[in-house]
A and B are shown apart, each in its own frame.
Chain A
């Protein structure tokens, strides 16, 4: 492991000494688990960004797999949900949505494709921005609402402020805790513990994971986003796995309490109810989708408009899409490098699957930052905290993130 740990001091840690001792502790604790490999899953695009951005995988013991699960809200927005937005837009209804949704593939068309055909789609940073747009026009405006609970609370707060009568919501919001249950039960995943995302837990509180831990006997550790926060959380999670102690631990107390933000939860559950539904490529997730309660059906685009998905059936689905393994990647069964399309037919400026569209998607993050240290030789550029040759090559494609046209906003 020394070759791996050799690069810690070179990484951009605020406290290299602490990073080194955490990396050493992680290596020791994982070594004390008498199984290999040990798989840990996180469910947050920002965690994957930080892990990749700061080269954390180069400091991890080889026998530890840190997998990104279904933590990218754009990626798990299901095909029929995108289709609903596309059909509405093609019917002439004005749509507002977060920028990362534009290129997410539907059955045959993305919102960007519909836009190219002349459909009117506005990219917004916030639901509040969509409401401002609605106030300026005399026609219906549908906010295609995507994202996890952290984003759904903003939608619910906006709805409770009595938006104008021409404002409608097409909710594709998702709720993270139930999908952890699904992934935990997938036989091929073999995840032994979860890192929970600090800011989502700011809303829900860490207590929300206690029933999960009791049911599945798997530990959950709430983690922050600094490289040191993530390393410390990994050490704690590895200790819980080693000791066979399924428990919830909060390693991000500066942001997360047990009960969470009760005011936000009250608004979230007043406006939304959880129902079962598919997450793209993953599975049907009981209680994983957030839909408007009947009290707010006058705002529900699904009630207001006749959304006939059959109108898309004349369009053939993209052939390459059949080869996309995005779902297996988000389930932790495969990695982007198992995909024949990754970095070849599927690149950020021309994505095939949703995981390459979003700045929170595993494929886009790996494409951008280089992915896994197994790509490089042991003592190679990764160990020095630098970029691999592979990464240098692939980043020549350049991200579209900083380009204009709304791609800069991410749909959370």
Chain B
């Protein structure tokens, strides 16, 4: 999906960051994002790559849609919520 998922950077090691997505931590690649990323920043993740650092004043507005969709766990019939869930959990085992 082209929605991507925002997450909070926990730590940065070279071109890879550990990012927290609603309690799920994943390794996210920083090769594509065009601004420096530091712990505490929010990034938009797409297939394991940060495509954008989210400016601090825009974090709340960006998270709102996801908060709404994640409020209730998908029951299998909410495609959009299920896509976001799979994006969050998709790379949790990604050790690259």
Contacts and interface: CB of A to CB of B under 8 A. Distances in A.
A375 to B, nearest CB: 17
A46 B96 contact: no
B79 A368 contact: yes
B68 A125 contact: no
Nearest to B67: A14
A157 B16 CA distance: 12
Given A199-B44, A412-B1, A401 B83 contact: yes
Interface string A382-412: 0000000000000100110111000011101
B2 A359 contact: no
A333 to B, nearest CB: 23
Contacts of B55: 254
B46 A263 contact: no
B48 A410 contact: no
A128 B34 contact: no
A342 interface: no
Given A126-B94, A161-B31, A46 B74 contact: no
B10 interface: no
Contact of A199 (B3, B49, B76): B3
A73 to B, nearest CB: 9
Nearest to B71: A12
B82 interface: yes
Interface stretch (A83-91, A148-156, A242-250, A314-322): A148-156
A49 B80 contact: yes
Contacts of A291: none
Interface in A20-69: 44-46, 49-50, 53
Contact of A264 (B51, B74, B82, B85): B51
A266 to B, nearest CB: 9
B76 A398 contact: yes
A398 B78 CA distance: 10
B33 interface: yes
A107 interface: no
A255 interface: yes
* A-side interface size class: 35 or more
Given A150-B51, A154-B48, A412-B47, A364 B76 contact: no
Given A126-B91, A161-B31, A267-B32, A197 B2 contact: yes
Contact of A126 (B33, B34, B68, B90): B90
Contacts of B80: 46, 49-50, 53
Contacts of B68: 12, 14
A46 B90 contact: no
Interface string A230-272: 0000000000000000000000001100000111100100000
Contacts of B65: 50, 225-226
B47 A125 contact: yes
A412 B46 contact: yes
Contacts of B2: 44-46, 71, 148, 150, 197, 199-200, 360, 412
Contacts of A154: 29, 32, 46-49
Contact of A408 (B52, B77, B82): B82
A381 to B, nearest CB: 16
Interface string B27-59: 001011110000000001011110110110010
B86 A408 contact: yes
Contacts of B96: 126, 128-129, 131-132
Contacts of A365: 79
A401 B82 contact: yes
Contacts of A200: 2
Given A157-B49, A226-B65, A408-B86, 18 more contacts: A46-B80, A49-B80, A71-B2, A128-B49, A129-B94, A150-B51, A154-B29, A154-B46, A199-B44, A359-B1, A359-B79, A364-B79, A399-B76, A399-B82, A409-B86, A410-B83, A412-B1, A412-B2
14 contacts: A50-B80, A125-B48, A125-B94, A128-B29, A128-B96, A153-B49, A202-B52, A226-B61, A254-B55, A255-B54, A263-B33, A369-B79, A398-B77, A402-B74
Interface of A: 12, 14, 44-46, 49-50, 53, 71, 125-129, 131-132, 147-148, 150-151, 153-154, 157-158, 160-161, 197, 199-200, 202-203, 225-226, 254-255, 261-264, 267, 359-360, 364-365, 368-369, 395, 398-399, 401-403, 408-410, 412
